[in-house]
Structure 1
């Protein structure tokens, strides 16, 4: 059975790729972008099955209006994919107030506003699936991407609570956590801080530590997304890519070792 799927950031990258795959299999797609011309090819190919909407996810009222228009047009919204976002490259000291606020506005608040907007519709339907595009950097962090990781850590905490709050309404929540893929995320879609020379070595070390096969093929994620959407019992978290699994598993093994090493101190802090 076809579904109606609302996806943000559909002009390129995962958003464009996934929108095309969903349309190809017969789903109805509400595709949002800041520049609607980027969706012309999908509109020409799929006609009435796609509703392109211009949207800046940072605009809360515009997000609510887009959700309402989608519901009016197709009659329901079965899945919301909060895909819009971008990467901010730079060290913590380098980030300006604008850098930091802009990163949180898009990656966190934009996702929050659309989640809030769709919930009354999904509650009334008695079903729905909210899929948040997080990142492996929502579970671990690395130098040079601290502000980006902070925005995704926030998405993780928000979505875990949301999942518990809406489960009784028949609404499911999933976090997609990719590692690196061959999208424009690290290139034309990214922004970068003004450099401070003192951090040149830190940045060089970070770049040197990236394995040559780190970036997966974006097309390989399509089957995973479709399986997630079609699952009757989708996971709260879905890692995408071999390095996502490797890095998270290694990090949590290290964390557990440290926590166990400090267990006596931890328990003593209880005070009784």
Structure 2
């Protein structure tokens, strides 16, 4: 029997790939996007197999309404893919509080709101998969993405905690942590780059130059990532965190090595704070 999916950020990028893969498999999908016109071709191709919903994930009432569409159309909800998000590469000092909050609202609170809307349904069903598209940037950081890393680290902690709460009644939750993919994430992230303050040229400026060279050459294939997402939606067990991509695995390993080295170097300070 096919599953019922709700996928955020379906209009483009990885969300579009996941939506296409699910529909091709015969799944029933509620596809959401800010601009649902991007989904017209899928509606024409798949008809009653798909419902499209205009969704701003930063609005909790809209998240509730999107989940209700799945119930009204298909009678249940089996898979939630929290995919909507974006990057914005600039120094923290040159990121306004409004821009920082908007990114956090999209990349983190969007996950919270959709999960809150879906979880009661899945709990009553005693089954469900919630797949949160995070990033290797939820395990390591680079200069110029303080808001993005804050959001993705938050997604990882949120996922791990809620997964522990729900596993015993059949709801499986995982944070997927891909590396670079050819989804134009880089192009959008550097599109609004500021004129850097000179003091940030050595850190954020160097990262921006690297991103320019990387754009369009990322190692990750979003079509293959979408195939993995379909497999996970039928898995009996899920890891709390799953790295996707050779670059993700390598980057995470280097970050863990640095943390381990720091922990060893500062061990005496760490244990010095205990009561005698």
TM range (shorter): over 0.9
User: Which residue matches 1:249?
Assistant: 253
Matches within 5 A, 1:1-272: 1-188=1-188, 192=192, 194-198=194-198, 199-209=200-210, 214-272=218-276
How well do the aligned residues superpose, as a CA RMSD in angstroms?
1.7
- State the shift of 1:203 in Å: 2.9
Is residue 174–residue 237 contact of structure 1 (8 Å, CA) maintained in 2? yes
- State the shift of 1:263 in Å: 1.7
Is residue 88–residue 189 contact of structure 2 (8 Å, CA) maintained in 1? no
Is residue 174–residue 234 contact of structure 1 (8 Å, CA) maintained in 2? yes
1:165-191 per-residue CA deviation (whole Å, 9 max, x = no partner) reads 112221110101011111021224766
1:34-64 per-residue CA deviation (whole Å, 9 max, x = no partner) reads 1111001111111111111111111111111
Shift of the 62–27 alpha-carbon distance from structure 1 to 2, 3 Å rule, reads same
- State the shift of 1:229 in Å: 1.4
TM-score (normalizing by structure 2): 0.93
Shift of the 26–234 alpha-carbon distance from structure 1 to 2, 3 Å rule, reads same
State how far apart, in whole Å, the 1-side matches of 2:104 and 2:205 are: 26
State how far apart, in whole Å, the 2-side matches of 1:68 and 1:219 are: 28
Name the SS for the 2:26 alignment partner.
coil
State how far apart, in whole Å, the 2-side matches of 1:175 and 1:146 are: 19
TM-score (normalizing by structure 1): 0.94
Name the SS for the 1:173 alignment partner.
strand
Is residue 7–residue 31 contact of structure 2 (8 Å, CA) maintained in 1? yes
- State the shift of 1:202 in Å: 2.2
For structure 2, the residue ranges without an aligned partner over 5 or more in a row are none
Is residue 99–residue 193 contact of structure 1 (8 Å, CA) maintained in 2? no
For structure 1, the residue ranges without an aligned partner over 5 or more in a row are none
Name the SS for the 2:174 alignment partner.
strand
State how far apart, in whole Å, the 2-side matches of 1:233 and 1:161 are: 16
- State the shift of 1:73 in Å: 1.1
State how far apart, in whole Å, the 1-side matches of 2:193 and 2:110 are: 21
Name the SS for the 1:69 alignment partner.
helix
State how far apart, in whole Å, the 2-side matches of 1:188 and 1:47 are: 31
Is residue 23–residue 46 contact of structure 2 (8 Å, CA) maintained in 1? yes
State how far apart, in whole Å, the 2-side matches of 1:196 and 1:88 are: 14
Is residue 87–residue 185 contact of structure 2 (8 Å, CA) maintained in 1? yes
- State the shift of 1:254 in Å: 1.5
- State the shift of 1:79 in Å: 0.6
